[in-house]
Amino acid sequence: MIHNLEAEQSVIAAVLLDNDCLDVFTRLKPSHFYTPAHRTIYEAICYLTNHNVAVDLVTLSERLKNTGKLEAVGGNEYLTNLMDIIPSTVNFRHYVAILRKDETLRRLEKASAEITKSLNKPEKEFEDGHAALQYAEKLIFDISKEDERQELTKLSNELPTVMNNFDLVQHNPEALRGIRTGYTVLDSVTNGLQKGNLIIIGARPSVGKTSFAMNIALHAALKEKAKVAVFSLEMNKTELTNRAICSVARVSLSHALHGELTPEEWQRLWDANAKLQKADIFLDASGSITAAEIMRKCMRLKREHGLDLVMIDYLGLMAAPNANGRESRQEQVAANSRMMKMMAKELEIPVLLLSQLNRGIEARTGKNENDEPMLSDLRESGAIEQDADIVMFIHKPKTETQSEQNQHSRDYEAKIIIAKNRSGPTPYFKLQFIGELTTFMNPEDVSKANGVASVPVPATKVKANLPEIVPLANPSDINDVF
């Protein structure tokens, strides 16, 4: 297999010549050495280092002799010859880089062999070509993740960057602003959605989680010109597109689906269609998908087209990370949550992750207790709270009577509770939910909507001489990038 004997010898020789090389040397792994004798020598040197023993020809020989491995590596003669391999340690880091490169290539070579071997397995091993592709992607992904692990660095190395950021903000408050959401208070509190942040949006069913997150995603794509990926494990692409275009056009989804739009609404729908055709929004409506698959798709999307924001609806519907079924549901949710945080950090993008709340809220209702959501209401795993940088809850106040509940079931004043914010305060603010538009609006913007919930008009009055709406994209090819 791929290896460089001289580079391995030179790395060991450099350590014997200068113990200052040990810091870098001990970050290597036995697998970085292809030759068995060199792996044995590496482990002996690491043992000496861990026990605060200076590494030289004598101490190394003594350690190998005590473990009965001296002759297996070539004896004292081979160790002595190693000292003559290089005259100095000037190129030590270059030799280490060669070892790292060769080890990666060997792992790729091994993964390639495993992939080829898997293709010859019985058909029952892989239900379809997609499963085989996922297996191959996982092998390659695991290799890439191993190579991306960072080493410890001194805090002082980061100070220039931090001080420069503070200076930038001092002179320009907009310098470090993240992606705006379109919601005044939220943008003020968070300074926009920041790179690397995992943002949890939690609520009970039918309160508006999907609408709220889609409103943010649409604002990011249309106003901020962000490239947005939307993963829906609950709705199909057509349902998502229905909501998107009606929300942007400020027309009733119900009226659009029943052919009850006025000419003016049709024009707004046509204008919204033109805007969304130009937006970089990518949809994936896989019914069953794991966090690892989402991460691989996002990595590919960022590499090929760029990626600024990801929305996932929702955590509870993600497939188990492992197919063996041995993990509890809490462990599965925790693993998925953790991987989404890793994705946000490594792809340097904000991730909106929707989550259902448990029935704790309902149990508190009617008992003179606070019926507002709290962090303990996050369903199935406390790890969600731990991984999240921001946790927001959508609270729909209870109405007094059944008639009031029926009357206000579509439109209501929502309370958005920021229950956790790593980098700022945790206030609450109010938004107006317009049910027919599946849209949350700033209170100050509601009056500007100019009567968005329009009165139904018979379809026969608006069908003549109207342009036929052009679909956003063919559902079969809107997600070709994935």
User: Rounded to an integer, what distance in angstroms lies between the CA atom of residue 112 and that of residue 373?
Assistant: 49
Q: Is residue 322 part of a domain?
A: yes
412 prior amide bond cis, ω within 30 = no
Domain assignment present for 430: yes
Query: Does a structural domain hold residue 146?
Result: no
Alpha-carbon distances of 89 from 20, 22, 289, 378, rounded to whole Å: 10, 12, 50, 55
Same domain? For 241 and 92 the reply is: no
pLDDT of residue 235: 87
Say what the pTM is.
0.66
Residues 312 and 437 in one domain: yes
Domain contains 340:
yes
Beta carbons within 8 Å of 118's beta carbon, 6+ residues apart: 125, 126, 132, 135, 136
201 and 94 in a common domain: no
Residue 453: inside a domain, yes or no?
Answer: yes
Q: What letter represents residue 27's amino acid?
A: R
| 352 lies in some domain | yes
375 and 230 housed in the same domain? yes
The three-state secondary structure class of 172 is coil
Q: Does residue 208 lie within any of the structural domains?
A: yes
Would you state the pLDDT for residue 186? 92
Residue that terminates a domain, selected from 84, 118, 152? 118
The pairing of beta strand 198-203 with beta strand 351-356: parallel
What is the reported pLDDT for 125?
57
Q: Does one domain contain both 92 and 9?
A: yes
- Print the domain residue range for 17: 5-118
Distances (CA, A) of 339 to 238, 266, 291, 331: 28, 43, 6, 12
Q: CA angle, corner 129, sides to 125 and 132, nearest 5?
A: 55
Q: In which residue are the tokens 């199909």 written?
A: 236
Radius of gyration of the chain, Cα coordinates, nearest whole angstrom: 29
Q: State CA 71 to chain mean position distance.
A: 51
Whether 113 and 182 map to the same domain: the answer is no
210 and 65 in a common domain: no
C-alpha 272/C-alpha 265 separation (Å) is 10
How high is the pLDDT of residue 150? 53
Give yes or no: residues 289 and 390 share one domain. yes
> 106 and 189: one domain?
no
**Phi first, then psi: what are they for 246, rounded to 5°?**
-70, -35
CATH number of residue 64's parent domain: 1.10.860.10
DSSP 35: S
> Are 319 and 440 within one domain?
yes
Q: For the chain, what is the domain count? A: 2
442 in the same domain as 355:
yes
- Domain-located, residue 143: no
Looking at the structure, do residues 276 and 365 belong to the same domain, yes or no? yes
CATH number at residue 225: 3.40.50.300
pLDDT along the chain (482 residues), means of 10: 90 91 88 93 92 91 94 92 85 91 90 82 59 74 64 75 83 83 90 92 87 94 93 89 90 86 89 92 85 85 90 83 63 84 90 84 61 77 80 79 51 88 88 87 74 37 34 38 34
